[in-house]
Each structure stands twice: as structure tokens, then as C-alpha cells.
Structure 1
């Protein structure tokens, strides 16, 4: 069995250095002025009298380091059991001869080598020095002191215990510091791989608790200073233990004024706090980042080693905290719309990928859709948003975007993903039962009837992911195509996904690649449609129209490949090739004696937006030997109304070089007459749809006549396209329209056919 006998009493002033351990009269214990810590001392000896004498003598032990708790064992088995149970024994007073002559020495070897305990101080106390001579024992065994029982007085016993306790205290401090530093290194390595601020701060809590040996009961807070706030907001970004429900809440919501006061004091004083029931660590931010505080609930008093380890840990972890905060900010920038604070396109792709099946991600075939059942992708575009920006200013446009965002987020479940893709295009990802056209229209005030007044008009599209077999990126592309289809039909239109649309998309992609190759091989050619003076029938010019014939002989309609070129950016190359061919046609027309003709070329919005367009035009004209007065630039009405200042400046630059400017399809858009007056326009072109209605509506209601009157008032000439009958031509001429083009005169012709047509029609 083992025995314990605590002893923490003051010196009783017994025998001097040469006196043996003897019993003395018991004195009442005095007032303890020593330290409060009680160091464990294990006496191992099979002599009961010596053990009792040891216990009595140590009752008076006192030192600056504290008192002692005496543990006693009468054989090596009992000693081994105590050593296994008590891991913090400071000193062993060990007899050599017990069950056997070397029992004590075998125990020493077991302690040092088997148990791996290098800190405990071992003092050999023997009554038979001949059995274990000091010189050989000290050389062969890791023993810290050696005494014979006959030499050991009370005062000497106290002295050697103080010396060995101090040695043990130093060694354990060094060992704990070494282990602590190793833990810091290991925790730093683990934290380096963490990029989420929440996960990083949660790890910090666990590592601090592990470092000082307490349960992880606490939280990490971030200080948020607003530009006009006198008292900063403090938000809890990570928590453990009983504080776990407080994550993402503000500090004042915790309901604990003492804890709030401690954390705010730490942040205000910008230093660590050691309070009776907690520790609060301060993590300073950089000039551009926030300060952090770590609160740990613990009544444990930390010693100097633990304090220093905490200091090293906070310094070591500071840069990691800054880096993770930066990564979180970058993540926010990458996945959040800066204007509205909602998800952006990247976040939508990530949300779709979360719904995308693992097998599909690994490239394995899917039988049907790879998405989680029941989800839809809804996309909407605000009608006439560019007009709002143009007429009311960009700030009003931003207000409209914010209101759309607010209504969607307020009316839809927080679990749904609401994203702004770009400009005025929004996307919603969520269960199909919640994301419907009717529900979105209701939220945006589009219900009509007894519903709220209309807020905005939208075009929309809905893609049921259960019917879709493409990737997340494909889903966004297809939904965008659906939205464009709805927008082409007019205002407040909606389009639903139909299975098989991917085939059409694949065909569109194949055609786009073929168009790119055709442009590279120079296979796009032009046809020239004559423009005729209505009064005399004289040829005044022609419009250059792009034509594409496949190697198979099949003709691709312009209504298909022109929008495709615009969508893929090939319109720039196409436009340059058409201009160059138009210039060569001019040269041949002049060579055939047809002077004073101009050839019109269309300029797309994408072309017009390019810097250096005028320089490119002038370069091509110089290379082909043509002057600007022989080329007419046609722009669409919608292009002319986009950015009136920029458009006016660029058109004036073209006109200053000698180009004539015409607005194509006038009357089909949303022109402002005040804007039109500001633009340097030479000619308005009446759209064929308005020419077609001649004779079917009253003259006073004919839009063609209105266009002619507008042109006359603004000093512009007029040309009508799509003139099919003599009646239309006569009607237009009678009302002052100068020129016309259409099948009544000639269909678009190759250059050789145009020359032949002109020769047979009017040789002069």
C-alpha cells in the first residue's frame, strides 16, 4: 500500500547539521508565510521508522517556493503505482536497498527510461553506502543527489529539498515552454492552411485553450468602426462552449455586461487583460484592417511561462489573422456585387456547382439531370434600364437596382441565392416552388389589377434544372439566351426552358466557328442594293449588304449570322471586310463611269464603341484609293440614343472627314427629337415596316409621312427602304422623300450584276 502525509509547516528549529533525524517535541504550527503552491515529494523506503521520522521532520518545511505534499511508498511496486498516478512529483527520496540490493537503482532506470520522466529530481538516501557506492552510482545513473541516512539532518533535508524543488521548477518551466513552442509551431502550420476567417478564429480559440490547458470556452470578436460612429460595433465571429449560440451576433446582444466591458476595455486599451475569471487577448489590426479580441473564460492563474507562451502565440498568429482577413475580403470581392452587396456571377456559379452531382463533376455520364431535384435558375432584366440611365442619370439607375435587390431579398427566403450578374440582370437560384414568374412579378409590383402600382417592367427567363443536362456555366449561358429571346419579343416578356435548347445552342456554336473560319478565309462577300432618286429614277448609290454562302452552296441568312457576329465579337472583323469590299466596289463603279455615287455601310454598336474606329476607316479608304465622300455611314437609331455626348463627338469626327451619316430603321426605336437635333445627321432612313403600311392606313396616321416631316424640319434628306410597288414609290415622292431602295427597283446584286442592271435600265 502507499501512504500520504501532507506537510507544510514552518521551521521548528531542531537539530543542527550534524544531528541525526530524531524525534523532537511537537510544537504548534506557526503562521505560514511561504508560497501557496504545494510541491509533491515521494519518499520510498521500506523502513517504517525512517518514514515516520521523515514525515515528522518535513512538517516544518517552508520555503519561498511553497509547501510540500509528502507521498510515501514502502517498496518499488507502491512507488511505481504512485508515479503512474501522480504525474507532477517534484522530488524522490529513494532508498537503494529494499526488496533487493538494487531495487532502488532499477526503479531509477524505469523512471528515466521507461516512463521518460526527466524532470523529477532523484535523491538517493541509503543506509548501506557500501552496497551502492556514490562514485559508481552517480556515474551510471541519472541521479541528482546522494546522501547516507547518517548524514541527513533536518536542516540538510530541508536544504536539499529546496534546491531540488527549484531545479525541478526550472526544468518543468523549460519543458513546458518547449512543448508550448512546439504547439505554437504545430498550430501555426495548421492555421496556415485555413482561409476562412470564421474557421481561423475558431482554431485560435482551441489552440489558446490547449496552450494553457483549459477547456475552449470563449469567443473571438472583431471591432467594426464606422466612419461616423463614436462607439465601435463589436461582432462575435467565432465562439465555443456556452458562447457558441452568439456567433455572428453583436457583443451587446450577449446579455453579459461584465464580459462586454472586459472585451471593450481590451480593444480600447489595445492590450491583454488578466481578470479573475477570464483572459482577454488583443490582436492588433493593420492600418486598413480591424482589431480583434479573444475572450477565454478561465479562473486559472497563469504562471510566467504560460504568460510568455501566450505573448509569443499572439505575436506569431497576428500576421496569419491579417492574411486570413485579407483572404476573406478578397473572397468577398470575388463573390459579392460591390454596388448591392449581394452575390455576383461567381457566387451563382458556385451555388450551381453545389447543386451539381458529384458523378457529373467527375466526368461520369448522367442519366438525366445532374442537379439536385426541384431547383430552378430564374433570370430577369429590367426593361428600358438604359433609358433610365440616359434620361434620369446613373444615380437614379443605381437606386432602381437597389430597390429591385431589396424587394427580392425581402420577399424571398434567405436560403435562396439572389445575384446580380451585370448591369441590370439579376438571377435567383432556389426551389421551383418558391421561384416562379408570378411570385417575382408580385415582388416587383407587376401583378396589375388590385396589386400594388407597377415598379418596373422586366423581361425574365426560368430554367428548370431538373430538365437540364449541362454544366453550371452552361446553365447560365442557356438562361441568358432565354432571357434575350424574351427581350426580343418586347416589354414584360417571359421565356421558359424547353428541353432540346442545348442542341440549338450547339448548332449556334458550330455556326459561330464556321463564321470565324469564313472570315479568316475571306469567304464573306457583299451584295449591293441600288438606291434610286424617286423623282428621276437616277442611280444615286447602293447599300453594301454582307452575304455568306457555305462551301456546300447553302446560304446563311443575314438575320442569323449578323446577330451571331455581334454576339461573338466577330462583327468588328466582318465590318472591316465589308468596308474594304465596298471601297473596291466604289473603285469599279467609278471605272465604269458611274461617278458621284456613294456606297452605304452599316456600323454596329460594338464597332462604334471601339477607340480608333475612324482611323481604321480612313486607313482602309487610303489603301483602297477611296475618299470619305464616297462612303456613307449607317448607324441604328438605338446606337444614336445610347450616350449622346460620345455619339455626337464621334459622328462629328466622321463628318468632319467628309463621311455622310444616316440613321437606319428610323422610327423603330425610342428617339428623343431633342437628341436627334444635336447629332450631325445627313439622312434618315425610313424602315421597311413603315413603308409596307402605306395604303393600309390613313395618310395622317402613316409613320413614313411623320419621318419625312421630321427630316424636312431638321434639314435632312430621306431614303425609304423596302419599296416594293410603284404606288409606294409615288406616295413617298409626293410627300418629299428623295430616294428609295427595294425590290421595286432591284434586289441586292453582285457588283457585275449591278453594272449590267444599270446598263440595261438606263445606259445614260
Structure 2
């Protein structure tokens, strides 16, 4: 009876071959199977002959032995180095020296770090290697005295040793696979982590299906290599295929196996040969997970259940990963219109839970950017050219702002409104980065109407960040006098001919060591405001020669402002005249000179 609570019970979803040992095409003549490697080391040729005679037809769990011989410890090192996957070592103790065998064991365990190989000691002189001391001091499976050993005793020791190796290898493979599973769960839905997770599970599965420890898992559809479809690639692998992750399947498996993959995809899902098996699992879609197992014969019923369970769960894991990836793509597409960071400002981490009226009060720096004289420039350009110019410009400006922590709230035609939750320091450094990028743009891209000029205004203060609109159409926005003031500061660049103006609130939030050169312009009456705002010009936005001239005239400039404040217009006019004479390009000094002259 199907139990939906039991993850091992696939119910109606189980493939037909899961319990049917007769399913699949007739097997071809078997190719050479995997073999348990047994190494015999003894300096007596007769021992080699007897061992060969006793063991050459022996099988362990249906797998035959592959015998290798060495007549000394020195020769044994070469054989062991060549066959590091050997299962059992039948080792004489006394050969070149009384302890040659024990030295070989020490070399294996300590220098070669081979803890998997099982060892059976055989000696004709037990007194030179007492059994209790040897078994306690070395990782030895069995101890045989040549004078007492019989064929049956030898076979029993070999079977026990090979099975001990099998079990130890299974534990090691599963432990390694478990480590991969645990590592993958930290970032479960990354593409690489899904591969790592499935590879870890596959290694554990392969450890249960010995000697089939080499396997390949991928997803394919029929026809296997249809030109319009992506080439199937290895998603998980174990054993000798462990380095094949991400490679095209046709580069990993030979042509005969690929033909059987086609049969598996179009037939019952199971193809078993004498030396490999191919399984595919129908999950109801066009693509089917496919598992190739290398080595061994037909699987037993419980082994097929393990395979079908892996294929089903792996297929579902891949499907869930694909759904997660699609969701992330939709979210990234949505963020191109409404940045996630902007929504997070209203203290919402889940976009699905954002609603009209959600808001949060906080202090923030607001930046407004505008292209100077853009309307006049547009008159001489066709609309497509204007559109192209704006996008080229924003492709430069956007990254500069975002790299300094800016969140673009909205594009305003030829302008941008940007939020800086991190405060004035990032805001002013972003503004300077934008102006430097525009200078490079002007050098690299000469325009018929002259270089582009920017005006940037910055203010800092309390704002309300929230969602406005109605249930079917809402948008995040920032509302406060701080926003309006920042916009008016930006507009004042047109009056003064400046590139970057900031309020005193911005300057008060700067780090002293990172504050750029500034010039106070005094309290300014901005459009629409009843209270004046102290503005400062950021001299760092100007070229070095200009900064030097402005610094040299700073005293006269400040004296002129003080005279204006005292309404001593004649004195103010004289001061600003001196500044303009020294620096004819100082448009701010010209503005205040005009104010003094008009008011006199």
C-alpha cells in the first residue's frame, strides 16, 4: 500500500523498472567488470603459486579478484603506488630484513596515508613479529602463520578483508558526500550549490551500490542532441567522472552509452548492460533526469528503489532550482523599475508585503541633478538623438551614484533625484564622481552644441519614505521639505553658473578629514521658501587653476558678502569688483557684484 508519508515510497510515480528485474532490452555479452585488487607480497615463489591457485576463481559479492604479485618490500612499493585502489594486501613479514613487511605497513599508513587498504600478515617466523604486538601497533586485519594456514583459512581471510575494504570505502564515500551536502545547504539555490548538493548525494548513493562507484547524472530530452536544444551537461558525478561536472555529456560518455541513453528516454527508462546501466525517470515534463552507473551487472530490487528515489528527488531539486532562478530573474527585472533598496527603506524586506501607506521617517541626504540648458540643446536635435544622448549620459551617471550608496528614486527627463540613506559624505563624493565622469565624457565625445554642463544640489534632513497610490498601482516616494529644498538648491546653480551647491546641513555632516574645499555664499532666499538657506559652493568641482584663484580671493569674497549683509552696497561692489578683476570666470562673484550694483 502506498504511504505518502514515506519518502522511499514513490507510489504511482515510481518508474516501471523500479521493481521489475525483467524490464529492459536483452543484455549484450558482458564486458570486463570491476575487480577487487589483491596484492600478494612474499619472497617465496611457492607462496605466489599457492595464492594464485586458491584465489584465481574467487569472487566477493559477485565481483572477481585481480591478483598482483611482488617478491620484496621494495617491489611492493612500486605495485602499491601503481594500484592505490587495491582492496587487500597479503603481506609476508620477513623478506629483505626481519621487519621488511612491518616497515612497508608503516610506509603505507604514515607516508602514503593509505588508510583504506586492508592488510593480512603472513609469516613463517611468528617469533619475529608476535601477533599481539603487531595487531595492537598496526592497522592490521588478520594475522596468519604460514605453518597453520589452509586454503579455506586463506579464502576466509581474503573475503573478510575485501568486505572490510568495501565497507570502509562506503563509509568514506558517504562521509565525503555528506560534507558536500552540508556545504551546499549554506547557499542552497546557487547553481553551483545545487550541483554540489546532488554530487554529494550521488556519492552516497554510489557508495551503497558498490562496485558501481562511478556515475554521471544529467537532464536530457529526446532526441538527445536536437540542434535547437542546449547540449546536456553533467550536473552531478562521482568516482572516475568526478572531474566531469559542467562538461557536455557527449564528451564524457562513449557513443554506445549515448545510444542507450536514447533508448532509455524513448522506452521504459531502463537499459542494463553487463558493465553499465542507464536509468531515466519521467517527471511529467519534456526533460528527464538520467543516471548512468558504471560497472556491475543488473541492480537488485532494493538498489533500483534507491536509484529511482535519487532520480525523482534530484529532478524535483532541479525543478525547484529552476523555479527559484526564474523568480530571481523576475525580481531583478522588477528592480530595474523599483529598486529593492528603495522598498527596504520603508522597512520591508518582502516585496509581496508592501502596501499603500507603508512609510518610515528618517534623516537622509537628497541629491538633484540637472543638465544645464538642455531645453535649448533639444531644439537643435531630433528626438531620437535626444533620447540616445540621455541614455548614454545615464549609463555613466547611474553607476557613479550607486557605487557611493545612492538610490535613484526617479528620472526627471533631463534630471535625476537620488537618495543617500548613508548621509552627506557619500552624497557629496558621488556628486564629485559624477562631475568627473561628465568631464571625461565631454573629452571623449565632443558635441556640436558644446560640452554638457551639470548642476547638482544637495540637502540633508528629515524625510518620509513611503508607498503612495492605490491598491492596484503604487510607487515608493520620498516626501518632505528636505526634498523640495534640495530641488531648489539645484535650480540655483542656473542663477550662479555653478556646478555643485550644498546646504550647511550637508557640510555639518561631513568628516573633517574628507571634506572638500568649500566657499560659503551666505543665506540665500530660494524660490518658494520663506526662510533663507545657507549655501556653499563646492570648489573641488572646479579645475585646479580655478580652485587656486578662488582660494586666493576668498578673503575679498567673504568681505563682499559681509558688506552686502550690512547693506553697504558700495563697499560690497568694490570688493566683488576686485574679485572679478582677478578671476573673470568667477560667475558667483559676478552675480553678487550685480546684486550690489543694482541695490546701490
Q: Larger relative contact order (C-alpha < 8 A, sep ≥ 6)? A: 2
Report the TM-score range of the alignment, normalised by the length of the smaller protein. Answer: 0.3 to 0.5
Q: TM-score, with normalisation over the residues of structure 1?
A: 0.35
Q: Give 1 or 2 for the bigger CA radius of gyration.
A: 1
Q: TM-score, with normalisation over the residues of structure 2?
A: 0.43
